A and B are shown apart, each in its own frame.
Chain A
C-alpha cells in the first residue's frame, strides 16, 4: 500500500447560525496517496467543499467550526495546529485551486507580480533575474504561450482557461505534496476543460503530487480519478476505486446517479431513470440514513438508524443497511 499523504479520520464540521450550530460534514474519513487522485463527488450541499476547506484550515471564521476528527498530514494533525503552523503548511505543502480563478488572482496587479509573490513564499532571497526565470519556466510548464509577455499582463486580459492555468501555476509553484482542486473546470468550456485536465494529470505525474479533485461531474471523475468518495448530505455514501464505482456501485444513491446520465445507449428522448425527491434541508434530516427519503429501497430501519460503514472489498466501502440486496 503506497504511503498516504493525507488521512482524514471522522471529520465533522459545521457552522454557527442564528438557529444554533448546524453540522455540515458528519464524521467522514478518507485518505489519498502520493501520485494518486481522489475524487470527492457529490451534489450541492453534500459537504465536499467544506471538507476541503477544513483540511486547508480555511473554514470561514467566525462561523465555521472544525468540530472533531483528525487531519493527518506529514505526521501532523492539522486539526490541532495553530494558525501560523497552518499557514506554513498551506500553500507550500498543500496547494488549492478553485472554480473561479479570480478568487486567487488580484485584478489590479500584473500576473508577474503575483507569480513572484507565490515563488517568494517558498524561497526567499531570490534575485529578480532568478524570479523572472522561474516565473517564465512555471508559465511554460502550465502551457501558457509567450510567457514573458504574459507576466506583464493583467488578469482581465486573459481568457478563463488562461487564468485557470495561472492559478494552477501559483498553486504548484512550491511543489506541494497535495493539491486540492475544487471544481476547477466546472466553469470552463468543454474543450478548455479537456486541456486543463490534461495539464493537471501531467503536473501530477511530474511532481508526484497527491490530488483531491472535487466535482459533481461523473464524466470528469471517470477521466481523472483513481479512487472516489461519493458524499451525500454531509456523509460518505460509498468509497471505491474508480472502475469499481462505475461497474459495481453498491449504494442506491451512487447507482441512481450513474444511471440517470444519458449515454450513447440510452434511447433518444426516452424517460431517464431518476432519483425522486430532493436532498432534505440540513435542519430536517431523518435520524437514520440521510438518503432514506429518496431511496426506493428504504424501510423503517433505514429511516431510524444510521447505516454503518461496511468494507465489502479492499478499498470498497459502503454505508447502506441493504447493500447486499438492493443494487443489481
Chain B
C-alpha cells in the first residue's frame, strides 16, 4: 500500500476536564472531535502528546494497565444500534463489563444488572430481550447502563443524542445530567448541536480542522464568542423562534481537506477577516480572560 499522505485529524489539542464537570467539544465534519474522544480511550492510538488521567500519563501504560483503566474511562456512541451486539440479550451485554474485569458472582452480577436497568429507566425484564426490540432512545439507555456499570470517572459521549428523536433527546440529556451529579462523572460531550452542548456543558471547546480555535465557559462562548469561526457557527444555528432576528455570517466554500490543511491559520481560507499574517503564521493560544482562550491574530480588534 502506498502512503499518499497524513491526515492531521487532531493537531496539538490540549484541554482539561474536572470531576463532575462537562467539557463540550463542538465543530463540524472533519474537525477531529470524534477522533479526540476515541484517542482518550486508546481506540485510536495517539501519534504524539500526552493524556493525563488523574495525574497519570497514559502513554506510559502497558496493556494490563490499560485494561484496568478502561474501568475508569468509558464511551457512549451515537448509533445505539451499531454499538450493541444484536445477537446478545441485554443481560449478556450488561454482564460483559463485570465478566471482563472478573467482578462478582453470577448472583451478584444479576442484581447489579437489574439495578442498572432500573437506574436508566428500563424495565427489569429487559434482560432477556434483544436490542432490536427496543426503540432508539431505549437502546441508548442500554448503552448508558453499560457505560456506567463499572462506575467510571470519565465518560466520552460521542454524539450520544444526535441520532435520537427530539422528544427522546431531552430524556437522555436529563439522564446523563442526573448520573453526572450522582456519580460525579467527568463528561466529554462531543456534538454538533450547539444548543444541546451549551445546556450540558460547563466549558466548551470549538474545533476546526484538527485544532481548538476557542475555549471558554459555556455561557461566554455563546454570549461573547471571540473567534470568527465560533461567531459564524453560532450565527448559523437555526433557533426555534420565528421572530428571532439573525445576523448570519456566511462562510464561503467548504472545509479544506485535513490532509493538506491551509498554512498559517487553518481557518484563513474562509475567514471574513483574513490578513497577510493569517496566511503564514499559525495564531497563538491567548487568554481573553481567566476562562476564555482563543487562537486568532486579530481577536482584540474584532472583539
Contact = CB atoms under 8 A, between A and B. Distances in A.
Interface of A: 43-44, 145, 159-162, 189-195, 197-198, 216-223, 242-243, 246, 256-258, 260-264, 266, 268-276, 278-279
Given A194-B250, A273-B170, A278-B135, A189 B243 contact: no
A190 B171 CA distance: 24
Contacts of B194: 190
Contact of A222 (B167, B168, B241, B248): B241
Interface string B260-302: 0000000000000000000000000000000000000000000
Contact of B199 (A160, A192, A268): A268
Contact of A194 (B199, B200, B218, B236): B236
Nearest to A193: B236
A219 B238 contact: yes
A276 B254 contact: no
Given A189-B29, A189-B192, A269-B177, A43 B219 contact: no
Contacts of B255: 159, 189
Contacts of B196: 262
Nearest to A273: B170
A222 B238 contact: yes
6 A-B pairs with least C-beta separation: A219-B238, A262-B199, A260-B170, A189-B28, A43-B165, A194-B236
Given A262-B196, A263-B195, A191 B244 contact: no
B238 A268 contact: no
A260 B192 contact: no
A190 B236 contact: yes
B227 interface: no
B192 A190 contact: yes
A198 B170 CA distance: 29
Of B170, B177, B248, the most chain A CB neighbours within 10 A belong to B170
Nearest to B219: A268
Interface residues of B, number: 47
A78 B289 CA distance: 63
B237 interface: yes
A198 B238 CA distance: 12
Interface in B50-103: none
A219 B237 contact: yes
Contacts of B35: none
B240 A191 contact: no
Contact of A218 (B218, B232, B240, B250): B240
Contact of B168 (A218, A261, A268, A278): A278
Interface string B10-30: 000000000000100000110
16 contacts: A161-B254, A189-B28, A189-B29, A192-B28, A194-B238, A218-B166, A220-B238, A223-B239, A246-B240, A260-B167, A262-B196, A270-B199, A271-B174, A271-B178, A274-B174, A278-B138
Contact of B240 (A261, A274, A275, A279): A261
